């Protein structure tokens, strides 16, 4: 959601803060601001709109500060406006803070503070924290006194005028990371904010407070006791966070997928031994009686594919649940249940709360995640990293491919050890697997064909995406990508359900993207195409190369290289992503920062 950057060191703080906010733009925001310790006082500048608007407001002003905080806000409480933008201050402007998350009891706190004579300048929940931090005692003592009053989720970065050159950070259910440079330090909601300066990071845990000055850092628990922390080296480089000549991050990340697939299987697929190996799962038990996958959005679609892989390869029943629903039920779990938690960022609020509930009920947790040291990986019993690298585009692309790949490999790994893989399955799949990156690159080389197709359809208002079997989750994902970045209404359907209601929607100005697939379902899906055409609907069909029957029925055809059926989603997703991208491009939409969306949903 919102972005936080804090800096203390010898550089001009404003330059570092604005650069960090630029690198956090992908998280989604509607306003931006900075606070600087300047000659014994705190100066706050904040504006609604993009960071460029803030920079215009700052133009012509001179600052010497070496310590400051910055923020990009995604509105939760209070409309996007200058007075609701962060940073927020107390009544006397003796401190300034930025906040990610939601203070759930802010109304009660605000009413108490108003009764005590405090004057509020915003409608945000965040401002109450600034007022609560007023009073006697050292800054650390006031933070320790305030935290028990707060309910909800928060990452805070705080400046106190009385303590020049010092930053405080606080974490509770919302990510905050310390970046450690050479005589300089950073606090940020995500690693790319400081990756230009350092790859050394400390991941704060819930209930921890960090005090940072140019002389060093120390971490305290909310009880006041000091904590020892591990310094990680982040396995990303600054270049990976740049567009590399592509018009948008999303397009760059679509093109990175062949390499992501290679990185994800590297060291895990042993062709010589005919095995799939996971060093991180050496102690993984084989006797779970049930799997529950919990995730949100795109990650949930990956979980739906994972269900099909696991049930086929491992013969274990799998339920797939939206984490936002799962966490508010009383699910039936026990020590024989494996909860498969899938999240690109590892900070998705609903998924984290679902995992906490599952642990309370005795279930074991396997995380599929892309971010080293994230909250999810610290909660899990086992973690398999997806190795997708930094994903900046809000609409997930390469992370989804990596999730699908990991879940497929996990199914093969578990099924082989359990003895449930059908004879010859491992051998045939491992023989075909090395050809997939080349086939993905073939699809990418045809992207101009997809662009031409997008020009035919970008003015349509409604899309249906239909698929069966492995292609049903892909239909959901294709529809999600289109609506996320082009704002076109799109609905993913199990193709067999079309006659049970959705067929009423078919008319000439409704487009259907039909994923044909292989096997016994193919003929059924061809029947769906016939039904749509009989009602004068427009059909784009995705099918294997050389399928003349499909070409004779559909209005437009997108072909993918032939592969084994189990791998077909890994190829088919590429044209679906490209189609969504080029439709959005033709419509003039902001592809990397679609309206109302954020990269990582760290609040409910």
**Does 162 score more than 90 pLDDT?**
yes
Interatomic CA distance for residues 104 and 84, integer angstroms: 17
Convert 117-160 into a string of H (helix), E (strand) and C (coil). Answer: CCCCCCCCCCHHHHHHCCCCCCHHHHHHHHHHHCCEEEEEEEEE
Q: How confident is the model at residue 603 (pLDDT cuts 50, 70, 90)?
A: very low
Residues 6 or more apart whose Cβ sits within 8 Å of residue 587 = 458, 486, 487
**Percent of the chain, pLDDT > 70?**
96
Structure confidence by residue, pLDDT tens digits, 140-156 = 999 999 999 998 888 99
**Does 355 score more than 50 pLDDT?**
yes
Contact assessment for residue 362 and residue 334, using Cβ atoms and an 8 Å cutoff:
yes
Interatomic CA distance for residues 378 and 1, integer angstroms: 21
Interatomic CA distance for residues 12 and 5, integer angstroms: 14
**Does 237 score more than 70 pLDDT?**
no
**Does 240 score more than 70 pLDDT?**
no
Contact assessment for residue 291 and residue 337, using Cβ atoms and an 8 Å cutoff:
yes
Q: How confident is the model at residue 602 (pLDDT cuts 50, 70, 90)?
A: very low
Q: How confident is the model at residue 604 (pLDDT cuts 50, 70, 90)?
A: low
**Percent of the chain, pLDDT > 90?**
67
Specify the DSSP class assigned to residue 386: -
Q: What angle do CA 236, 240, 241 make, to 5 degrees?
A: 100
**Does 244 score more than 70 pLDDT?**
no
Contact assessment for residue 524 and residue 497, using Cβ atoms and an 8 Å cutoff:
no
- 283, 287, 302, 352: which is closest to 323 by C-alpha? 352
Structural domains of the chain ordered from first start: 3-240 (3.60.20.10), 246-444 (3.40.50.10490), 446-604 (3.40.50.10490)
Q: How far is CA 565 from CA 425, 433, 570, in A?
A: 12, 12, 10
Tokens for 262?
């290679």
The arrangement of strands across the sheet holding 462-467 comes to 489-494, 462-467, 510-515, 538-544, 556-560
Residues noted as catalytic: 2, 599
What number is the average pLDDT over the span 506-522?
88
Indicate the Cα dihedral angle 251, 257, 259, 263, nearest 10°. 130
**Does 241 score more than 80 pLDDT?**
no
What number is the average pLDDT over the span 264-286?
89
Q: How confident is the model at residue 366 (pLDDT cuts 50, 70, 90)?
A: very high
Q: Kindly report the backbone phi and psi dihedral angles of residue 264, in degrees, each rounded to the nearest multiple of 5, phi listed first.
A: -70, -35
Interatomic CA distance for residues 381 and 594, integer angstroms: 35
Q: Kindly report the backbone phi and psi dihedral angles of residue 343, in degrees, each rounded to the nearest multiple of 5, phi listed first.
A: -160, 130
What number is the average pLDDT over the span 437-444?
94
Q: 185-189, 269-273, 350-354: which has the minimum mean pLDDT?
A: 269-273
SS3 state at 450: helix
**What DSSP string describes 78-115?**
S-S-GGGSSPEE-TT-SEEEEEEEEETTHHHHHHHHHH
Tokens for 500?
């049970």
Mean per-residue pLDDT over the chain, rounded: 91
Interatomic CA distance for residues 525 and 510, integer angstroms: 18
Burial class for 117, CB neighbours closer than 10 Å (0-12, 13-18, 19+): exposed
Structure confidence by residue, pLDDT tens digits, 541-579 = 999 998 888 888 999 999 999 999 999 999 999 999 999
Contact assessment for residue 525 and residue 515, using Cβ atoms and an 8 Å cutoff:
yes
How crowded is the C-beta side of 70, counted as CA atoms within 13 Å?
A: 29
Q: How far is CA 403 from CA 64, 343, 398, 483, 508, in A?
A: 46, 9, 9, 21, 36
Contact assessment for residue 131 and residue 146, using Cβ atoms and an 8 Å cutoff:
no
Interatomic CA distance for residues 86 and 89, integer angstroms: 9
Interatomic CA distance for residues 291 and 569, integer angstroms: 22
Q: 206-215, 375-384, 538-547, 590-599: which has the minimum mean pLDDT?
A: 590-599
What number is the average pLDDT over the span 445-455?
96
* Per-residue pLDDT at 73: 86
The secondary structure of the chain in percent helix, strand, coil, rounded to multiples of 5, reads 40, 25, 35
What number is the average pLDDT over the span 389-411?
92
Contact assessment for residue 459 and residue 508, using Cβ atoms and an 8 Å cutoff:
no
What are 337's strand-pairing partners?
290
Structure confidence by residue, pLDDT tens digits, 82-108 = 999 999 999 888 999 999 888 889 899
**Does 512 score more than 90 pLDDT?**
yes
Highest mean pLDDT among 18-32, 454-468, 538-552: 454-468
Tokens for 498?
């079309």
What number is the average pLDDT over the span 331-346?
94
């Amino acid at each position: 959601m919102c972005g936080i950057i804090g800096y203390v060191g010898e550089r001009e703080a404003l330059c570092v803060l604005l650069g960090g906010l630029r690198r956090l733009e992908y998280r989604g925001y509607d306003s931006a601001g900075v606070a600087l310790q300047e000659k014994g006082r705190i100066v706050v500048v904040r504006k609604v709109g993009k960071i460029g608007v803030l920079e215009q407001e700052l133009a012509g002003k001179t600052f010497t500060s070496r310590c400051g905080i910055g923020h990009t806000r995604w509105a939760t409480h209070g409309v996007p406006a200058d007075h609701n933008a962060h940073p927020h201050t107390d009544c006397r402007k003796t401190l300034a803070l930025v906040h990610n998350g939601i203070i759930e009891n802010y109304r009660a706190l605000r009413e108490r503070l108003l009764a005590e004579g405090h004057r509020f300048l915003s409608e945000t929940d965040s401002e109450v924290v600034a007022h609560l931090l007023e009073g006697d005692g050292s800054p650390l003592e006031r933070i320790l006194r305030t935290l028990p009053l707060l309910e909800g989720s928060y990452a805070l970065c705080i400046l106190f005028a009385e303590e020049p050159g010092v930053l405080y950070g606080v974490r509770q259910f919302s990510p905050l990371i310390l970046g450690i440079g050479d005589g300089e330090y950073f606090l940020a909601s995500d690693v790319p904010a400081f990756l230009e300066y350092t790859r050394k990071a400390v991941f704060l845990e819930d209930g921890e407070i960090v005090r940072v000055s140019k002389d060093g850092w120390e971490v305290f628990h909310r009880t006041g006791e000091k904590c020892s922390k591990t310094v990680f080296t982040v396995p990303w480089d600054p270049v990976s966070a740049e567009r590399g000549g592509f018009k948008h991050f999303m397009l760059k990340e679509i093109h990175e997928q062949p390499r992501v697939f290679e990185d994800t299987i590297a060291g895990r697929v042993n062709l010589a031994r005919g095995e799939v190996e996971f060093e991180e799962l050496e102690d993984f038990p084989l006797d779970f009686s049930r799997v529950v996958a919990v995730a949100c959005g795109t990650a949930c679609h990956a979980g739906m594919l994972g269900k099909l892989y696991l049930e086929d390869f491992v013969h274990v029943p799998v339920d797939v649940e939206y984490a936002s629903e799962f966490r508010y039920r009383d699910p039936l779990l026990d020590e024989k249940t494996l909860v498969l938690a899938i999240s690109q960022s590892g900070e998705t609020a609903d998924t984290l709360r679902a995992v906490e509930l599952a642990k309370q009920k005795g279930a074991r947790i396997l995380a599929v995640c892309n971010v080293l040291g994230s909250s999810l990986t610290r909660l899990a019993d086992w973690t398999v990293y997806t190795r997708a690298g930094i994903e900046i585009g809000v609409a997930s692309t390469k992370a989804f491919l990596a999730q699908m790949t990991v879940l497929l490999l996990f199914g093969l790994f578990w099924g082989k050890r359990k003895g449930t893989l059908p004879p010859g399955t491992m051998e045939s799949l491992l023989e075909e697997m090395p050809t997939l990156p080349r086939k993905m690159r073939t699809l990418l080389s045809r992207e101009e064909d997809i662009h031409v197709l997008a020009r035919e359809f970008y003015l349509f208002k409604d899309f249906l995406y239909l698929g069966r079997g492995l292609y049903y989750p892909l239909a959901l994902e294709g529809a999600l990508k289109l609506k996320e970045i082009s704002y076109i209404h799109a609905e993913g359907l199990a193709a067999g359900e079309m006659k049970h209601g959705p067929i009423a929607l078919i008319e000439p100005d409704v487009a259907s993207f039909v994923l044909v697939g292989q096997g016994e379902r193919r003929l059924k899906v061809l029947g769906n195409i016939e039904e749509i055409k009989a009602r004068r609907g427009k059909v784009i069909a995705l099918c294997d190369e050389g399928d003349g029957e499909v070409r004779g029925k559909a209005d437009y055809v997108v072909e993918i290289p032939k592969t084994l059926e189990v791998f077909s989603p890994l190829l088919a997703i590429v044209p679906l992503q490209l189609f969504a991208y080029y439709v959005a491009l033709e419509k003039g939409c902001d592809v990397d920062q679609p309206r109302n969306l954020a990269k990582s949903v760290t609040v409910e």
